[in-house]
Structure 1
């Protein structure tokens, strides 16, 4: 009776035997002792799992990168959407926990083994992740989640791609952040000495990612224009683009919002280092007069770090 929702007796026996072979040690967890390549212990996707024996249908979590992987506890059976995501998780775990992990050069399409180089390579921590064809994703098949080594400062896991993701917010706020500041952050936060070349490459990669996100935002400018028109009936929205090699390049955007209620729009413009004008702040007030302008400018000056003047009485 091997139809949908059922597990044949032979397969069930094989599964139970494999489960019995899992070591009881709480730090050693795996779907089998010998890194088997069978798929019997993964979730049986596509079946109804109506059998009373729920153990035959494993339910495993999908990995999502937490805010911090310090003291992270790995769970055998966890799914990863790709090999790259698993390796990224390993790098983050190793760097945040100061563990010198080695990502083995195994079969790139089927399996990845990770070991710890601590205690001169004698640390017992290992992780084994393999591609599971039945679910077309990667799964943590075995983990020995206990270190027998001391923490190490000079970690070999650091690379420019991983670092670029960690400094992206810093670069977004300051596109000209100095390389020396990136190196100082690496030493202070992860206790890793980062070379000048790696820091420079990481900053460039982060800047490229930021430019890419800006490009994606401009691709949605039509959606923005339609939403303005939908939510502000009677308003005038004009969008001008330029055709360049078959692609639409943003050129101009005109907005004149019309609402049922009156009011005045106060705007402050600024000039940047390249002598370009840009809107700095705006406010909607009931009427334009000395008091509303003072109220607006006091808040703006306070935001810019200055001391607001005493606002006049109404």
Structure 2
């Protein structure tokens, strides 16, 4: 993550939420491994490293609440210098339209990153809706154990 002022990063997240009221956004950063050795500048986030971002737009969430509870989960590589993975949940309709429910950018596709993503999704969709969902995936790395941990007994 490029060094930006703390205020600028927070204002971008606040603008996303302001423009999309009721949306859910979660940003996770970790301290740089060289934190204790770096010269600290309180105006810069040069000692923080981007780890994860989760976004669920309220309009997409509301639309999904009126759908048959069937969710497709997928992950793909991000081909950037920073690399990472894009995790997505979508609902595909019979007329080939796609509803994006939520997405996340994570450092790697692991059980831990899937658990983090699914917990946010669980909180956003609600216990009643997500408990009735059937999940479809190509059994991404770490996904099946993550589903069993976050939503025990779910169809997949």
* TM score, norm. by length of structure 1: 0.16
Query: Highest relative contact order (Cα 8 Å, sep 6+), 1 or 2?
Result: 2
Q: Which of the two has greater strand per residue?
A: 2
